[in-house]
Amino acid sequence: MHGAGNDYVFIDGFVAPVPHFPEQLARTVSNRNFGVGADGLIVMLPVDHADVEMRMWNADGSEGAMCGNGVRCVALWMHLRNRVSGICRIQTASGMVTVSTAELDRDGGGGVFCVDMGQPHAATDSELLPGVRLPGVDSDLEFTAVSLGNPHAVVFVDKLTDRVVRHVGHQVEHHSRFPDRTNVEWTQVVSPTELTVRVWERGSGETLACGTGACAAGIVAVQRGYCSADRETIVNLPGGRLQVCTDDAGRVRLTGPAEVSFTGTLPGRA
């Protein structure tokens, strides 16, 4: 399944055995030349205190805590399997999230879902990243750190290029400032209600979309006065559009698509 092109291989732990070595399986199935091809692996598990538990592993086998696109796909699958009928409560490593349905196309295997992401932990001021610079810029890279259950570094740029996103993104992810590594949101302001973002994801490289990354970019854009807090922000990503908004209590909501690409079986040697 995928959300705006951010694709994962999902294992339905309600009916299938859970892999013994998920980090190894994540690396295997995520390989786009020798495996299924994905940004990572997500396992859906039954749990007492929620409708489903989501555990995720990045393409490099490292375990992640939260995925805004992944939880929408999990909610879609739970609806398609008639395990939920309204709000879907999903336990993640970073806490409980709730997902509501805006549209559901059972025949087409897709829909649009809204995720209550909770209250983010946003840095009050921007920081400079020692030793990392954009091409042609003499000063250290300026970023703002945000956490939505996983870490993000939001950087505003005038132009989005492959060299900036991929080469500098890799430097930022592995910088000593981030001992657990970080996701990087390269963000361009289009208007007071619209951003264009490319994301370098921790453990997966550049992906077509990142739900928590879109939220992080929207939060910092409002913080800096580029976007308005009382209006929805459209975030354009290579894989599609997501919508980010913040309510009066400071809770962030993420709305976007989810779709089943195909289903199949994996050999039982995982």
- Is the Cα torsion angle 60, 30, 44, 235 positive or negative in sign? positive
The pLDDT value given to residue 34:
94
Cβ atoms of 3 and 73 within 8 Å: the answer is yes
Q: How far is CA 138 from CA 134, 142, 170, 238, in A?
A: 8, 12, 19, 29
Pairing assessment for the beta strands 6-7 and 141-147 based on DSSP bridges: unpaired
Q: How far apart are CA 107 and CA 39, in angstroms?
A: 25
pTM of structure? 0.94
- The answer to whether the CB of 47 falls within 8 A of the CB of 53 is yes
Of the candidates 73, 114, 210, 215, the residue annotated as catalytic is 210
DSSP state of 18: P
Tokens of 42: 């997500």
pLDDT of 269 reads 52
Active site residue 67: yes
Nearest to 2 by CA among 60, 83, 68: 68
The radius of gyration of the chain from alpha carbons, rounded to an integer in Å, stands at 18
The span from the CA of 27 to the CA of 14, in Å, is: 23
Note the pLDDT tens digit of each residue in 173-214. 999 999 999 999 999 999 999 999 999 999 999 999 999 999
Task: With cut-offs at 50, 70 and 90, classify the pLDDT of residue 268.
Answer: low
Quick one: tokens of 209?
A: 């979309």
Domains of the chain: 2-117 (3.10.310.10), 121-255 (3.10.310.10)
Q: Is 110 helix (H, G, I), strand (E, B) or coil?
A: strand
**Per-residue pLDDT tens digits for 15-55:** 999 899 999 999 999 999 999 999 999 999 999 999 999 99
pLDDT at residue number 216: 96
88 carries an active-site annotation: no
Residue 103, exposed/middle/buried by CB under 10 A (0-12, 13-18, 19+)?
exposed
Beta strands in the chain (DSSP E): 2-3, 6-7, 9-12, 40-45, 52-58, 63-64, 88-92, 95-105, 110-118, 121-122, 127-129, 141-147, 151-156, 183-191, 194-201, 205-207, 233-237, 240-246, 252-259
Whole-angstrom Cα distance, residue 17 to residue 19? 6
